[in-house]
Amino acid sequence: MYEFEARIGDSLVQMADSDALPLSGEVALVTGASRGIGRAIALELASHGADIGVNYTASSSAAEDVAEQIRGLGRQAVVVQADISDGDAVSAMTKAVTGKLGTPTILINNAGITRDMLAMRMKSADWEAVVGTNLTGSFLTTQSVLRGMLRARRGRIITIGSVIGTVGNAGQANYAAAKAGLAGMTRSLAHELGSRGITVNLVAPGFIQTDITADLSDEVIGNVMQRIPLDRLGDPADVAPLVAFLAGPGGAYITGQIIHVDGGMVMG
Ligand code: NAP
């Protein structure tokens, strides 16, 4: 059951609707929704009632599978291929989602990649790929949905950062720079958009078990484990509920925040 307030005449009345869900009627665009954390977020938002634009860049059958699961939850889904580092592709993606589902009022900037190498040996192409996707791609996607959110006078922009953007990591200068940049982007946008009814927050996961972390050696994982007070690696299902909370009624007065979901790896 979902409780809400409705205005009847001059009074606000507490109502309950057993069918309405907190995100009913909202359209969410989730970048990188074919796998890992983005997939879990897309399904979580759909289970809270949102219709979902499922973006991917290469894994078309995985993206179709996510869309099928969303439809199975009784929500609408549209699958859109777009490389988020390409501005024209991003504009086409947002146009397609808007045309098929309506104006996205929730944006999840999730798509991201790694190209790890010690700085001395890092190729400029690997720097540019990571900054171009993780940082510029999130900015381009945000820009593409802003006009619609401004017209709707409401919106939730939630970007997936990383604890690495806060503490850094050897071999990840490109990734850490991009993720730290997203924190600055989040705070600046929160200042710009607060008066327009749009909240902007960054969720920074720690070590989450997905394809991105699947190839790490036992030695690296052992070192990471020593830094996790909750004594286990994270799962995409540990991240998705916080994102749904920020996107829903409970997140209405939260903006400009960097929230770690990391088992306690980074505190303060
Ligand atoms: P993942 O399993 O590798 O999934 C990455 C997703 O991003 C896939 O859906 C992929 O699409 C999509 N993607 C990659 N490049 C893209 C591009 N140029 N345009 C559009 N989509 C693109 O990664 P993950 O672990 O779920 O990571 C998701 C986000 O969480 C990333 O921003 C990552 O930096 C962040 N994060 C992850 C961890 C972790 O420990 N896993 C920790 C902190 C932060 P395809 O399937 O089509 O390739």
Is pLDDT above 80 for 1?
no
Could you read off the pLDDT of 145-175 as tens digits, one per residue? 999 999 999 999 999 999 999 999 999 999 9
Is pLDDT above 90 for 55?
yes
- The reply to whether ligand 1 has any atom less than 6 angstroms from the CB of 85 is yes
Name the residue with the closest Cα to ligand 1, atom 34: 112
Residue 111 CA, ligand 1 centroid: distance in Å? 4
Find the catalytic residue in 2, 56, 175, 253: 175
- What was the pLDDT predicted at 4? 55
In sequence order, what are the beta bridge partners of 219? none
Maximum C-alpha span of the chain: 68
Angle between helix 36-47 and helix 236-247 axes, rounded to 10 deg: 50
Q: How much of the chain exceeds pLDDT 70, in percent? A: 93
Could you read off the pLDDT of 94-139 as tens digits, one per residue? 999 999 999 999 999 999 999 999 999 999 999 999 999 999 999 9
Lookup result for tokens 């890992």:
36
Mean per-residue pLDDT over the chain, rounded: 94
- The reply to whether ligand 1 has any atom less than 6 angstroms from the CB of 79 is no
- The reply to whether ligand 1 has any atom less than 6 angstroms from the CB of 213 is yes
Is pLDDT above 80 for 17?
no
- What was the pLDDT predicted at 225? 94
Residue 253 falls in the annotated catalytic set = no
How far is 156 from 255, CA to CA, in rounded Å? 9
Residue 85 CA, ligand 1 centroid: distance in Å? 13
Residue 33 CA, ligand 1 centroid: distance in Å? 8
* Contact between residue 54 and residue 78 where contact means Cβ atoms under 8 Å apart: yes
What is the average per-residue pLDDT within 209-218? 91
pTM to 2 decimals?
Answer: 0.94
State how beta strands 11-17 and 2-8 pair. Answer: antiparallel
- The reply to whether ligand 1 has any atom less than 6 angstroms from the CB of 174 is no
Give the pLDDT band (50/70/90) at residue 233.
very high
Residue 151 CA, ligand 1 centroid: distance in Å? 30
Using left for φ > 0, alpha for ψ between -120 and 50, and beta otherwise, residue 31 falls in beta
Mutate to test the pocket of ligand 1, among 212, 216, 259, 266 (most ligand atoms within 8 A of CB): 212
